[in-house]
Structure formats: C-alpha cells, structure tokens
Amino acid sequence: MTEAKEFRAGFVSFVGRPNVGKSTLTNALVGEKIAITSPKPQTTRRAIRAVAHRPDGQIIIVDTPGMHRPRKLLGERLNAVVTSTLGDVDVIGMCFAAGEKIGPGDRFIFDQLQKFPTAKKVAIITKLDVNHKAEVFERLVEVDQLGEWDAVVPVSAVSGEQLDVLQQVLVSLLPVSEPLYEATHVTDETPDDLIAELIRESALAGARDELPHSLAAVVNDTETDDEGRLHIYASLIVERDSQKGIVIGKGGSRLSTIRQFARKEISRALGRSVSLHLQVKVLKEWQNDPKSLGKLGF
C-alpha cells in the first residue's frame, strides 16, 4: 500500500520585470481571473491573495506590485508592499520571459531577493507558447548563471504547458501544514476591489503612455434593483485636466468603450447582470499626496 503524501500549504509570490506574465500566471494557477493584466508597467498595485487548490497542497499566491526604483510616493508605497510581502512568503518565484534576454532590471530584482534568505527561490521561464526552443534554452543558461535556485521551471500560463509541473514544484517547497483555507475559497479580494481593478484594466487598454501611472479607480456605491441587477457607481481618477480629456475621448467615445468593456468583465467575474455608471475625476498630483493616497487605499 502506497503511503499518502503529507499535505503542504504556504505562501508564494511572483516577482519579475514588467510584462513577464506574473498576473497571467497567477490567474492560470488559480483557474480564474483574480489579477488584472496589461502590458503597462506597474499594473498590479495591491497585494492580492489567491488560492490554488491541489489534492496534495494549497498554494496561496500573493500577487504583488512589481519591484522597481520609485520616482513618486506611490512607487515608494508599492515597494513597501512588496518588501513586506516577500518577508512573509515561503517561496518566491522570479519570472523571466523566454523571449527577453536577462538585463540590469533582472539583476536588480535578483539582488533584492537576497534580502529574504528564508524563502525558497524558483526561476520561472514564462511564455513558452510564443518562443522557440533555442530562446528558452538561452534563458535557462542565463538564469543558471544569474545565481542559485531551488528549482527552475519553464511554463506557459496561456497554453497550460508545464503548469502542473510548476504546481508540483511549488507544493514540494511549502511547509507541511493543514489546509489554511476552505476548499471553496479562491481569493481574499473584496468585490469592490475586484470591480475597481477591472475598471482600471479596461481604462489601461490602449491608454497613452502618460496615463497608466496616473489612473486609479474607486467604487463609490452599489445597489441592487428589484430585478436583481447590480448598479455600480464608480470613478476613474486622473491627475490633470488634460488626462481627463484623454480618458473621456471625443464626444465621450473612449469613456463609453471603457464602460462597455468593464461592464462585461465585471458581469462575467460576478456571475450576474450589472449596470456601470462611470465618471472621471481629477485629483491633482495624487501619486505624491499622502492624503489622496490614503483615500485611494494606498
């Protein structure tokens, strides 16, 4: 008779340069959309906790903002979130896009990881589905030269290739433990936080370069009508009047597109009919104002 494996549970966080697929990987491991995705740097701004359930373990993923050199108070606070999170997790997975050579940004992040000696370190080569084997092999060599790892795993979050292998590796590095969450629990993110993030994701799609860091979204109120439809009243926050014009677009065309896309994503995520009422507000230099950052939850 085969002896049953010990159940393991613990915390994992992914780090890496912008657009290496950290949030996409989180969503793939959990099996549903938890974190928003965008090619824009610093898309993730909050530590979102999600749970990937397996028969042999529970991987609690803390999706954090990207580690970077801050230029504003918001950046400093985001870095503080990252540092606080990495100090508590059991495993840190550093992601490298298979098609991008390792550069100074990767080395900076790797050096920062040495501040957390108790966490296991896993190198994850992402985007196998869009890169040739030669590029993947080149990244594997570069990752090996970068430093020591507890494991190295190539994976594609989009096609699912090697996803189960990564889960097995992560579980094996976690401590023996009873389940830390109920089997039905997927995320600690509140519905309002999820709604605000999906609105921001919709606004980021196709946004000009000067907008992403200046965009925030907040849910002001929600109510359910007699037919069971959820009415959401929310605001997109920018720093300057010129940015407000960009978000609204000519004749309100861009804001209408944002609203339509966000409403569909929110309805899909919540599994119910929703109506989205969206406005744009200017909050001058909110990224550098402690009071404004506090109001926006940073």
Binding positions for GTP are: 16-23, 63-67, 126-129
Task: In whole angstroms, give the CA distance from residue 73 to residue 61.
Answer: 26
- Separation of alpha carbons 223 and 21, rounded Å: 35
CB atoms within 10 A of CB 259: 20
Nearest to 194 by CA among 126, 274, 256, 248: 274
CA of residue 7 relative to chain centroid, distance: 27
Contact present, 239 and 72 (Cβ < 8 Å): no
- Residue 98 token pair: 């298979």
Q: What is the CA radius of gyration of the chain?
A: 20
Three-state DSSP at 232 gives strand
Token pair, residue 200, equals 């921001």
CA distance 199 to 36: 10
Q: Binding site: residue ranges?
A: 16-23, 63-67, 126-129
Q: What does 122-168 look like in DSSP terms, one character per residue?
A: EEEEE-GGGS-HHHHHHHHHHHHHH---SEEEE--TTT-TTHHHHHH
